[in-house]
Amino acid sequence: MIPRIDLAALTAQDDDALAAMKTAATDIGFATVHNTALSAERVSRVIETYRAFFKLPEASKAAYDMARTGSNRGWGASGSEQVDPDANPDYKQVFDCGLTLPEGDPRLLNPFYAANLWPVEPADFKDVISAYYEDACAVAMDVLHGVAASVGLSARTFEGAFDAPMALLRGNYYPARPARAGAKDFGIATHTDYGCLTLLATDGSSGLEVRKRGGGWIPVSAPPREFVINFGEMMEMWSDGVIRATPHRVVGGVDERISVPLFFNPAYETNVAPVGSSSVILAGDHLSARYNETYIHLKKD
């Protein structure tokens, strides 16, 4: 069973909510979270805004193709990412955006803080998605504070680490599973997320599967008023393995599906080596290594 957690109760340090989050963090690696500041209407509008973009002709989306850039802002076509070297590139399409920095900010030269590529169509895309980015980051921060409390990490652990996050907001568009798809083809192949926390909104449809320890897959779904959360590789390192990054995938089915993960990654220079250890693992270095092995246009070979 995937724990279902009331975020307001977690923030109030309710015992049941803390215990459920501890199980999610240290055992399963996944939970669903409800009672957040983000309403179902808000999430549905975000999903429909992405849908309107993905329904544009390929030629219109190509104007925002991240493959022509040295970073990951804008549209990623089907086949632009390979998250599992043993599988084919994923058949999903994506749209990625990150933190908006003021014009002229020197960090804009760092690919993790690159300027966003906003489509002109649909007309409200930039407003809807950039506002959601800000508010989803605030919810993710609240969840992280609850996670820290649940596993007995000091509230100071994350202090400052997310002031200029390398957080990436993504729209995933899974068309119906293509007729030609074989055993190595996935909407998104088996992977662990790279960062600390993923806050995932979906259109409510099924498709996400979480790997069970010992084998097998658990289907997880959530309506637009609830979020699926899971932990990434940086969190597993940072917590010295106490918090788990659990593999997951989307095989895909007959219906199209949209999901919207916020990958809540800390600032570039955050040390995500185990708390208390003397080693140094920069969040930016880890993210860079993972992006370079999974985005086809960033692969160095």
Give me the residues that bind ligand AKG (CB under 6 A), please. 170, 172, 188, 193, 200, 202, 207-208, 248, 250, 259, 261
Least distance between Fe ion and beta carbon 190 (Å): 10
Residues in the chain: 301
In this structure, the number of other CB atoms found within 10 A of the CB of residue 118 comes to 15
Helix (H) or strand (E) holding 31: strand 30-34
Least distance between ligand AKG and beta carbon 190 (Å): 10
Q: Which does 192 bind (CB under 5 to 8 A by kind): ligand AKG, Fe ion, none?
A: none
For the record, the structure tokens of 278 come out as 């003397």
For the record, the structure tokens of 123 come out as 């007309």
For the record, the structure tokens of 80 come out as 């632009």
Q: Which does 259 bind (CB under 5 to 8 A by kind): Fe ion, ligand AKG, none?
A: ligand AKG
Q: Does 81 bind Fe ion (CB under 5 A)?
A: no
For the record, the structure tokens of 7 come out as 């975020």
Least distance between ligand AKG and beta carbon 48 (Å): 16
Q: Which does 208 bind (CB under 5 to 8 A by kind): Fe ion, ligand AKG, none?
A: ligand AKG
Q: Which residues contact 301 (CB under 8 A, 6 or more apart)?
A: none
**In terms of CB distance, is 13 or 212 closer to ligand AKG?**
212
Nearest position to Fe ion, beta carbon: 193
In this structure, the number of other CB atoms found within 10 A of the CB of residue 76 comes to 27
Q: Which does 250 bind (CB under 5 to 8 A by kind): ligand AKG, Fe ion, none?
A: ligand AKG
- What CA–CA distance (Å, rounded) separates 172 from 168? 12
What is the contact mask toward Fe ion in residues 192 to 231, using x (rule: CB under 5 A)?
A: -x--------------------------------------
Contact 65, 117 (CB under 8 A): no
Number of residues that bind Fe ion (CB under 5 A): 1
In 13-166, alpha helices (H): 15-23, 40-54, 58-62, 125-151
